[in-house]
C-alpha cells in the first residue's frame, strides 16, 4: 500500500508552464511585456477540465462544491480559479486558458494539456527510481523544445507528506506531516534545477525558471496565520479525520467548510482559489528565493534565443 501510494503521488511530476512569444511583438498595455501564449502540462493541479472531457463518467470536479467561489463547477480541482488562470491574467491574456481537449476551444493564446491522474511514467508502478522519473521529465521538456518551445516554468513537488490526504492515510494527527514522503519529494526537487542548468547550456535559446512550490506550501503549513489561513492541515471539503476524501462525489455526505478562503486546501490534495491566487502572484513577480533564476514576468521579456546569463542555485529560506 505504501509503495503504491508514494509512487502514485511522486510520479506525477510533470507540472510546468510553457510560454510562447509571438513574432509580431504586440505589447501588453501598461506592462511593456510582449503578447504571449501560455500552455500548461501536468496533472490535476493544472487540469482545466480535460479529465472531465476524456471520461464518460461524472467526475466530481464537474459538480458543486467545486467551483464554489465562482459558482461554476467546470472540471478544475479547486473552488474557483487555479494558478495558471492568474498567471495568464497577469500576462495580459484576455481569454481564459481552455482545456485543450474540449471541442471548439480558442487556443490562440494558450491551452491546458494537463490531465488529472496523468503521470510522467504513463501509469503508477510499484517502485520507481528518482533517476527514471527525472529523465522522463527531461525527455518531455526536450520534446517540447524540439517542437519550438523555448521558455519553460517548472514547479517543484509540494511537501507531499503534508497533504491532508496523506496525513489522513498515514494517521499522522493534525500537527505532523508524513516525513518519508516529504523526503522523497525533496530528493526529486533537488535534481530539477541542475538538470535544467545542463539543458540551458546544451540547448541554444532554452530558457527556464523553477518555482519552489515545496517551500511555498511548507511555509503556509508552518506559519499559517502569517498568510491569513486558519486551517492548513485538513481540507475544506471531504470526509475523514482530515476531510480528505469524497469531495463532490455522489452519495458521499462530505463536510463543507463555511468559509473556504480560510483554508489552504480545498480537497485532500488541491488548494483553494485564495491559495492559487497567491501562487499566481509568486510565479509572476516573486524574488529569487521563491522562483529563480527569474520570475515569469522576467522570463517573458527576456530576449528570445539569447543564452541565459544566470543559472539555478539552491534557495535559502524566504518569507513569501
Active site residue 267: yes
Between CA 216 and CA 319 the distance in angstroms is 9
Q: Which of 79, 85, 169, 267 is catalytic?
A: 267
Q: Which three cell numbers stand for residue 239?
A: 470526509
> Whole-model pTM?
0.90
Active site residue 47: no
Full DSSP string of the chain: -HHHHHHHHHT----EEEEEE-TT-PEETTTTEE-EEEEEESSTTT-SSHHHHH-SS--GGGSTTTTTTTT---S-SSSS--HHHHHHHHTT--S---BTTSTT---TTEEE---TT--TTSS--S---HHHHHHHHHHHHHHHHHTT--EEEEEPPP-GGGSHHHHHHTT--SS---HHHHHHHHHHHHHHHHHHHHHHHHSTT-EEEEE-HHHHHHHHHHSGGGGT-SEEEEESEEBTTTT-B-TT-TT---EE-S-GGGEEESSSS-B-HHHHHHHHHHHHH--TTTEES--HHHHHHSPTTPPPSS----------
C-beta separation of 168 from 268 below 8 A: yes
* Dist CA 171 CA 8 (whole Å): 19
> Do 214 and 154 form a contact (C-beta atoms < 8 A)?
no
From first to last of the 320 residues of the chain, give the pLDDT tens digit.
Answer: 343 444 444 444 446 677 765 444 445 555 666 778 899 999 999 999 999 998 877 789 999 999 999 999 999 999 999 999 999 999 989 888 999 999 999 998 999 999 988 765 554 444 445 557 788 889 989 999 988 888 999 999 999 999 999 999 999 999 999 999 999 999 999 999 999 999 999 998 999 999 999 999 999 999 999 999 999 999 999 999 999 999 999 888 899 999 999 999 999 999 999 999 999 999 999 999 999 999 999 999 998 888 999 999 987 655 55
Give per-residue pLDDT as tens, 295-307.
999 999 998 888 9
Q: Which of 44, 78, 150, 234 is catalytic?
A: 44
Amino acid at each position: 500500500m505504501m509503495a503504491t501510494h508514494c509512487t502514485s503521488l511522486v510520479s506525477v511530476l510533470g507540472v510546468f508552464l510553457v510560454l510562447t512569444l509571438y513574432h509580431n511583438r504586440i505589447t501588453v498595455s501598461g506592462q511593456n511585456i510582449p503578447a504571449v501564449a501560455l500552455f500548461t502540462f501536468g496533472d490535476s493541479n493544472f487540469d482545466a477540465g480535460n479529465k472531465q472531457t476524456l471520461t464518460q463518467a461524472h467526475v466530481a470536479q464537474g459538480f458543486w462544491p467545486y467551483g464554489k467561489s465562482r459558482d461554476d463547477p467546470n472540471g478544475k480541482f479547486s473552488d474557483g480559479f487555479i494558478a495558471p488562470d492568474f498567471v495568464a491574467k497577469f500576462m495580459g491574456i484576455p481569454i481564459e486558458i481552455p482545456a485543450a481537449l474540449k471541442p471548439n476551444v480558442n487556443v490562440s493564446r494558450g491551452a491546458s494539456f494537463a490531465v488529472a491522474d496523468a503521470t510522467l511514467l504513463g501509469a503508477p508502478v510499484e517502485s520507481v527510481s528518482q533517476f527514471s522519473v527525472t529523465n522522463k521529465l527531461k525527455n518531455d521538456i526536450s520534446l517540447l523544445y524540439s517542437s519550438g518551445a523555448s521558455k519553460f516554468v517548472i514547479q517543484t513537488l509540494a511537501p507531499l507528506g503534508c497533504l491532508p490526504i496523506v496525513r489522513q492515510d498515514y494517521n499522522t494527527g493534525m500537527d505532523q506531516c508524513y516525513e518519508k514522503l516529504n523526503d522523497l519529494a525533496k530528493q526529486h526537487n533537488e535534481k530539477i534545477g541542475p538538470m535544467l542548468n545542463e539543458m540551458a547550456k546544451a540547448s541554444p535559446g532554452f530558457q527556464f525558471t523553477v518555482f519552489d512550490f515545496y517551500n511555498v506550501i511548507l511555509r503556509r503549513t508552518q506559519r499559517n496565520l502569517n498568510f491569513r489561513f486558519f486551517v492548513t492541515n485538513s481540507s475544506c471539503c471531504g470526509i475523514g479525520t482530515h476531510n480528505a476524501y469524497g469531495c463532490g462525489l455522489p452519495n458521499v455526505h462530505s463536510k463543507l467548510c463555511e468559509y473556504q478562503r480560510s483554508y489552504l486546501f480545498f480537497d485532500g490534495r488541491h488548494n483553494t482559489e485564495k491559495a492559487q491566487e497567491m501562487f499566481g502572484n509568486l510565479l509572476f513577480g516573486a524574488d529569487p528565493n521563491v522562483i529563480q533564476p527569474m520570475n515569469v514576468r522576467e522570463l517573458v521579456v527576456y530576449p528570445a534565443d539569447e543564452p541565459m546569463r544566470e543559472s539555478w542555485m539552491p534557495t535559502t529560506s524566504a518569507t513569501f
